[in-house]
Structure 1
Amino acid sequence: MCGGTVRLLTALLVTAAMGYPSRRSATDLDATPRMTVTFDELSGVRRFSGHSLNYTTLLLEDERGVLYVGARGAVFALNASNVADGSHRMIHWEASPEKQLDCLQKGKNNKTECFNHVRFLQRLNTTHLYACGTYAFHPLCASIDADRFTLPSRFEEGKEKCPYDPSRGYTGLIVDGGLYTATRYEFRSLPDIRRNLHQRPLKTEESPLHWLNDAEFVASMLVQESKDSLVGDDDKIYYFFMERAGEETTSFFDKSQVARVARVARVCKSDLGGKKILQRKWTSFMKARLVCYIPYYEVLRSVCSLDSGGWASTVFYAAFTLSAQRTMEASAVCRYDISEVQRAFEGPYMEYQDSSRKWSRYDGAVPEPRPGSCITDSSRRKGYNSSQDLPNSVLDFVKLHPLMFEEVQPAGGEPLLVKRSVAYSRLAVDRVQALDGRSYDVLFMGTGDGWLHKAVVLGSSLHIIEEVQVFRDLQPVETLVVSRRQRSLYVGAASGVLQVPLASCARYSSCYDCILARDPYCAWDGWACRDTASGDSTGLVQDVQSGNVGCRSSSGRGSLPWKNRTVLRGDDVLLPCDQRSNLARAVWLLNGSEVPGTGQERLRVGVDGLLVTNTLPGHSGEYRCYGEERGLRTLLAAYSLTVLPQLPRAATTTSGPIAASQASGDTKVVYVSAIVVLVVLCAVLGTVLLYVSCLEKRRGKYVLGEPRAVSPELQTVSASCLRKARGEEDEEDEEDPAYPCLRIIPGEAPTATVSPAKELPEAVPPPPPPPLPTELTNGVGSLPSVLRKMNGNSYMLLQQQDEPLASPLYSASFTEELSKILEKRKHMQLVEKLDESSV
């Protein structure tokens, strides 16, 4: 572990020396999501899941209001406005038993691989869709009637259009009827970029140099560079992938293994291949290295693109993670302008040196027209109307020089975000026009454990608005598709499809929350935070740039009710303060003065609130909790704390013996009288046997006799004791005259005798004692037991041992005694609201 970390740190230092420095530190780039929304807090999310798995291939047709989903063994057509309304249509497309058996005989997994995983789903023409599946390692493709939503009677061979392996990297597009795909197609074939469904099928070159070196494809995009082109350029398809590097600088980082790097390649849509050289091969294929933050250590995971209506404004957003060999987890997000990509493809070439077996810069002559470029007006004026008209020197050069020397650098020379402990698996982007007239790019970033991060691009950095747990079970977010018409984001994963609203403005309950969120979709209308697309924008307030302008009041004082807290001196009390924003700092004011977060022995400011330990009367006062963020303070909680002094010890110690002595004297008089009465009865009746019988019947009850030593012991109340208190004695109780019964004494006061009382009639059941409170009102229920105090807010259960003999003059039940004690305590409360006091 230490060795991997040292190599990573060395790589960071070397990249700075090689020209990949970041003007900001990794800490500055590691943005914290402002708000965290767990799965149980989700609202407005719709879910679809059938009997299939792996809902990872999504095709949105916004104008038709349909979301097509390719899954394992099925194709679905969902209502784009509500994927969970039950109106979906389904096509069963399972692999045949024969193909599944053949797949098993090849040693493949019968639980994951030997199925038909739909990997490709695109619109073929106005009437049909085109779909391809792995079909248990025998790829097939089909034209699906979109209206009837049925499979055709005959299928097409898919081995050159779809991968065999469902886990293989794959990307595909249909452009003007041509199918452009990139993957490792056949069972043991090399990776390839191909064009099918076209009169001129093409593929990449394999000899003498492999244009692709163990490539894993991630994404592909069409950029319509022919539109409004001043030079008559052609449309291009860009491919993003990872491959093994052959550059001479590779061995500097890790000589034990060949590094893998991110690449971007392009081909021209009108490429027809060469006439004699590069027949049925691309003549416009070129590739360049894609650099984000840590070259040779980063793995490309996802790419998405966006333009403002013209191809010249196209930007690519790419998510990278650290390679699996690294011991730490991190992700980086970079933005690339199309102009930077073009600059790399127009720069110097690289050439493979047989002597060193490395690629190095080529400084020789370059033939005309420029190798790898599309046919333009300049080429046509020279007589080159198609790629088949290109001279052999140009085609030979293309064959041996597919790699460019210049690297594609991120915009601004640094990443937008470097996030630790997160592995981004998928990206999607939307462009929103805010109330300030500017357009902002909003990124949706899915993670490998089922979370979704929503962020807005602000200059050269990202502000993460929120992180949302969209799946309860850990699973990667496989696909993200944005619908501007439905104002929804569709999330594809192994367990199903989710429809998540682009804006969740109702989460922001105040003007401060709405403004500080800096969400381009949301604005404050004076009463609530609402979606800017829901109506007229007049009177709406929004501040995406700075996030602190627009709210009229400077504080939320007076909007929250005061909460009273009363405790005894020496108690611990927790004053909760819920901070919804992860970026806010808790500020506490005691009687108008700020409470420092550190340096106070008895005041501790934490993420849950303010903890006051071993309280003193000087801690009494008014406490206010504010959330401070971007210069604004929001009142979150207000408390009035009262610390009461403890009862004097002298009164407690002196009153006990006096009361005990007085009770003892009264008891002796009563006892002598009882003896006299018994003697008279014996003389009159003349029988001693009757006297002994009376004593046996009264054995085991509480009496007021001569004071004896009592040893209290903390116990629990047994059910048999409660039965005994109600007078429900059984045979077992009678056989044990020393049966221990329990008395409940409130607080810490010493045990005192109780005056005789009459028994309640048997017809009226005694009232049950009130239940003990489940949580102390001073808020320390969740704190460690070492911080809790007993004082006057608890009950102690005491066992009475060596009970005196029963007295005929006292027969009050245990329940009656307890009821009287509790009734007396009820009229001695120190505050009116019991739930607001810990006394």
Structure 2
Amino acid sequence: MQRGVSSVVQLLLLQGCLCAVATGYLFRTPLDLDVTPRVTVLNSGLQGCRHFQSSAVNYSTMLLEADSERLYVGARGAVFALNASDISAGSALTIDWEASPEQKHQCLLKGKDNKTECFNHIRLLQRFNSTHLYMCGTNAYRPLCAYIDVERFVISSQPEEGRDKCPYGPTTGYTALIIDQQIYTASQYEFRSFPDIRRNSPSPTLKTEDAPTRWLNEADFVGSVLVRESVGSSTGDDDKIYFFFTEISQQQTPTYSHSRVARVARVCKEDRGGHLTLQKRWTSFLKTRLTCSLPEYDFHFNILRSVFALPGQTPQDTFFYGIFGLEWKNVKASAVCRFTLSEVQEAFQGPYMENQDSGSKWKEYTGKIPDPRPGTCITDALRARNMNFSTSLPDDVLNFVRRHPLMSKQVEPADRRPLLFRRTTDYTHMGVHTAQGLDGQIYYVLYMGTDEGWLHKAVDIKGQLHIIEELQLFEEPQPVNNLLISDKQWSVYMGSPSGVVQLPLSSCGRYTSCYDCIFARDPHCAWNGAECVDVVMQADRSTLIQDIQHGTEGCENTQGDVVHRNRSVRVGDDVLLQCELSSNLATPLWMLDGRQVQGYDLNSGFRTGTDGLLIIDARQDQSGLYTCYGVENGVKVAIVTYNVTIRLDLHPPPPVDPTHGFAITRAPSEHPPTEKSKPPLLSPLLPHSDLLSPRNMKAIYLSLITILGGLCVVLTVVLIYVGFCLRVGHRGKYSIRAAAAAHQSGKKHHRNRKQHRNSTTMELKTISSHCNGNGICNGSSKMHNGNIQDGGLLQIVPGEGHTSPSNEPLPPAPPLPPTPQLTSPGCDFSNGLSATLPSVLRRMHGNSYVLLRQSDSENMSPPGYSFAEELNKILEKRKHTQLLPRPDESSV
């Protein structure tokens, strides 16, 4: 049986390894699209940030009117009118509109959630005419709509039925437009209804068709846009409304029978339906697919999350920006694709798709197309043929529209690839702002909110996005529900479950040097010789410096602020030189007296990290001027310099107890550690090994991923096997007494082994945030041969249960020995001990570095044992011979 289990385990291990390798291949990242934000700004560092909060929640609907400087916000049970220039001002107007207790009770009887659904969530809030707004709410699963008197900001009429204009639930996909006092909505309105695109008022009301061909298949709507194509039209064409949504694909295959696809649909604004055929139905409805994918990486983004329309100088210059996600719900990834209106129009002028035998077999229609072309709007040419309205269209045209709503040609994004791909981010909403650079070009600046409450600001440079900065909007993660941009107020507004946030479109003052301003590549910012300023605020732009295309030129003749520091250390110490880079795209480069420091070779005596350089076992020939450069866009900028002096006559090394064999010292730093200090992120130092050479690190990393994947499978099989054995084995109570007996037997065996090796005592000391001014620290423990005095062992074994007669606490830790204190004004010192074995740098307690060394003594480990192996054995014994209820944070 064991042999069979072993075979199964080996098979599963092999399968796990293959899965791990396949997963790594599947999620390969396109390096030129998965862009890292250049600057990360936490919530505490936001500049010009303003908040609005109230007792209401779920601020999901916003309407910005720049002329009146009003920002209208719809939340759960309330509507607010805020000052758009400063939403935190105390002049907010409020309308409370909550569902009645009776309606909430009816909602509960329907089985809905009384914490999220049985409320009045505002889903529609738009301008109706010059004096009124129109709003609709879910009203605890019985939608209502009402008018708002803008001047008095009160509900001006009795609420009216809203089930044909508003969805029942707060999270149902929904979009709405009020155009010339006509309400166009798209959603799944009632609980059991099909998704529908409707014109609700005034008459005639129109909707989509369900039979014989269903035009929408479980559609989830995310947005709608009016494009006034009649403006300057030479053909007298009509304005059109574009709806964006995700639905189940009608082109089903055996592999993806329920795959979802992104769609864009179009209707004509003046559509009146058919006379006999398609009565009260759209005669101009057509739809096609929006593609956003990376075929070379096998990424297909089928879920459309949000859309933003950017008008151009003419209707043909309109851009549609879409946020797409993967169909897998457990994988976080987003892509941003841009589409042109001309590409969309070309798709609607292409061939139609035909449904064979009313099933799932769709293919391109190759037959005769009726005249006039089905799905087109009324033009001057049709009016000349006495077809002034859609009701005049022939029945053969309308029958063709009914059976052929889907177009064959797909809409490809500009440049045939996404602008951006983010593998670890879920974008929720987006806004686009245009800005003219100093080079005269027009740049598109994107503001994208995430599901965790971050705002990414990016600029489109030659068809690729450069993320300028990422801003943390909220202390607690929460999604961005809506996003609006105001060019007049120079602000971006974000709605969330907890409130509304207002930020300026740019914060150029964040960049403190010329190169920092240039590297940002922000079209809103430029360097004036003294500071980074907003371009729009400068009347004279002749002396401003900006380089958006490359982010490299313009600062050659400027002087940057370089920090100068002095360090004096003793020979044999480990010295840490810090260099913090503000940019996530910059890499550190260290120079010693003009020569580059090689910090990757294990024998070089240096280790480099993302924010520091470590000198190991300092030698006198390593003295000199160390300079840290930040390298970004191929340009290196000096950040900090250290004049390091390594001497022999500073202080004698601290005494080392030969019976202990170990001593620990803290690596020096510029400032003593505090509870809030953050240590530099340096990789641990490891003993030299050919296995850890740089060329083998990649292979080691892939091997670890493969092994971990296999171990997960093995552990699952072992747990199932053990559970089966316990089920069929003896069932009894548990005894602590049996555990004690086992412990005593283990102690006898250990005493027999002690006779064959020398006695060794180890003392571990750390310097952490609990150290006092005299160098005394908490967290010291003594270990004799791997055993701790007065220690105990607690195990749970099958047997009879007994109650322990003693509840005495564990004895206190022995007092700490005095620690030598070294002080000297103007310099940083560190203690160092000579050792014959390599040092090991470890982070202790979050803000301390400790060095573990083995002193030269006669009590060496047995032949064949390395220092790391011996230490691991001792620590492993200690772990199994002591139970601490709350171990000290600084102890090893």
| TM-score (ref. length: structure 2) | 0.71
User: Would you say the 8 A contact 1:571–1:788 is kept in 2?
Assistant: no
Question: Are positions 1:562 and 2:571 aligned together?
Answer: no
**Amino acid of the residue matched to residue 623 of structure 1?**
Y
Could you tell me which residue of structure 1 aligns to residue 337 of structure 2? Answer: 334
CA–CA distance in 2 between the matches of 1:210 and 1:150? 42
Question: Are positions 1:577 and 2:579 aligned together?
Answer: yes
Structure 2 vs 1, CA of residues 380 and 649 (structure 1 numbering), >3 Å: closer, same or farther?
A: closer
CA–CA distance in 1 between the matches of 2:320 and 2:143? 31
User: Would you say the 8 A contact 1:259–1:296 is kept in 2?
Assistant: no
Could you tell me which residue of structure 2 aligns to residue 548 of structure 1? Answer: 552
Question: Are positions 1:261 and 2:325 aligned together?
Answer: no
C-alpha deviations, 1:239-258, integer Å up to 9, x for none? 1000000115x434x3xx41
Residue 456 of structure 2: which of 453, 478, 493 is its match?
453
CA–CA distance in 1 between the matches of 2:365 and 2:655? 98
Residue 527 of structure 2: which of 524, 529, 533 is its match?
524
| TM-score (ref. length: structure 1) | 0.76
**Amino acid of the residue matched to residue 577 of structure 1?**
C
Between 373-382 and 499-508, report the one with greater CA deviation.
Answer: 373-382
What do you get for the CA RMSD once the two structures are aligned? 3.3
Residue 223 (structure 1) shift: 0.8
Alignment of 1:64-463 (within 5 A): 64-248=68-252, 250-252=253-255, 254=256, 257-293=257-293, 298-325=302-329, 327-354=330-357, 357-463=360-466
Could you tell me which residue of structure 2 aligns to residue 484 of structure 1? Answer: 487
CA–CA distance in 2 between the matches of 1:106 and 1:651? 76
CA–CA distance in 1 between the matches of 2:345 and 2:388? 22
Question: Are positions 1:514 and 2:517 aligned together?
Answer: yes
**Amino acid of the residue matched to residue 429 of structure 1?**
V
C-alpha deviations, 1:70-113, integer Å up to 9, x for none? 00000000000000011100000010111101101111111000
Could you tell me which residue of structure 1 aligns to residue 468 of structure 2? Answer: 465
Residue 598 of structure 1: which of 597, 600, 608 is its match?
600
Residue 199 (structure 1) shift: 2.4
**Amino acid of the residue matched to residue 568 of structure 1?**
R
Structure 2 vs 1, CA of residues 4 and 421 (structure 1 numbering), >3 Å: closer, same or farther?
A: farther
CA–CA distance in 2 between the matches of 1:472 and 1:554? 38
Question: Are positions 1:620 and 2:623 aligned together?
Answer: yes
Residue 741 (structure 1) shift: 11
User: Would you say the 8 A contact 1:226–1:235 is kept in 2?
Assistant: yes
CA–CA distance in 2 between the matches of 1:359 and 1:585? 53
The runs of 5 or more residues in structure 2 that have no matched partner are 1-15, 657-760, 777-813, 833-840, 856-892
Residue 596 (structure 1) shift: 2.5
Between 642-651 and 457-466, report the one with greater CA deviation.
Answer: 642-651
User: Would you say the 8 A contact 2:526–2:532 is kept in 1?
Assistant: yes
Residue 357 (structure 1) shift: 2.8
User: Would you say the 8 A contact 2:571–2:648 is kept in 1?
Assistant: yes
C-alpha deviations, 1:658-683, integer Å up to 9, x for none? xxxxxxxxxxxxxxxxxxxxxxxxxx
Residue 550 (structure 1) shift: 1.4
Residue 330 (structure 1) shift: 1.3
CA–CA distance in 2 between the matches of 1:94 and 1:246? 40
**Amino acid of the residue matched to residue 329 of structure 1?**
K
Could you tell me which residue of structure 1 aligns to residue 64 of structure 2? Answer: 60
CA–CA distance in 2 between the matches of 1:135 and 1:650? 77
Structure 2 vs 1, CA of residues 568 and 369 (structure 1 numbering), >3 Å: closer, same or farther?
A: same
User: Would you say the 8 A contact 1:73–1:115 is kept in 2?
Assistant: yes
**Amino acid of the residue matched to residue 292 of structure 2?**
C
C-alpha deviations, 1:571-620, integer Å up to 9, x for none? 11111111111111211110011112422532111111111121111111
**Higher radius of gyration, 1 or 2:** 1
Residue 787 of structure 1: which of 833, 848, 851 is its match?
851
User: Would you say the 8 A contact 1:555–1:635 is kept in 2?
Assistant: no
The runs of 5 or more residues in structure 1 that have no matched partner are 14-24, 654-710, 723-739, 749-768, 792-839
Structure 2 vs 1, CA of residues 576 and 358 (structure 1 numbering), >3 Å: closer, same or farther?
A: same
CA–CA distance in 1 between the matches of 2:602 and 2:623? 16
C-alpha deviations, 1:721-768, integer Å up to 9, x for none? x9xxxxxxxxxxxxxxxxx999957469xxxxxxxxxxxxxxxxxxxx
Residue 639 (structure 1) shift: 0.7
User: Would you say the 8 A contact 1:195–1:202 is kept in 2?
Assistant: yes
Residue 388 (structure 1) shift: 0.7
CA–CA distance in 2 between the matches of 1:746 and 1:5? 51
User: Would you say the 8 A contact 1:572–1:788 is kept in 2?
Assistant: no
Report percent identity of matched pairs: 50
Residue 416 (structure 1) shift: 0.7
Residue 648 (structure 1) shift: 10
Residue 790 (structure 1) shift: 13
Could you tell me which residue of structure 2 aligns to residue 645 of structure 1? Answer: 648
User: Would you say the 8 A contact 1:717–1:742 is kept in 2?
Assistant: no
Residue 364 (structure 1) shift: 0.6
When the two structures are aligned, how many residues end up with a matched partner? 675
CA–CA distance in 1 between the matches of 2:134 and 2:75? 14
User: Would you say the 8 A contact 1:267–1:286 is kept in 2?
Assistant: yes
Residue 299 (structure 1) shift: 1.2
**Amino acid of the residue matched to residue 562 of structure 2?**
L
CA–CA distance in 2 between the matches of 1:649 and 1:94? 77
Could you tell me which residue of structure 1 aligns to residue 5 of structure 2? Answer: none
**Amino acid of the residue matched to residue 594 of structure 2?**
G
SS in 1 for 2:154: coil
SS in 1 for 2:31: helix
Residue 67 (structure 1) shift: 0.1
Residue 785 (structure 1) shift: 4.2
**Amino acid of the residue matched to residue 74 of structure 1?**
A
Alignment of 1:751-762 (within 5 A): none
Could you tell me which residue of structure 2 aligns to residue 696 of structure 1? Answer: none
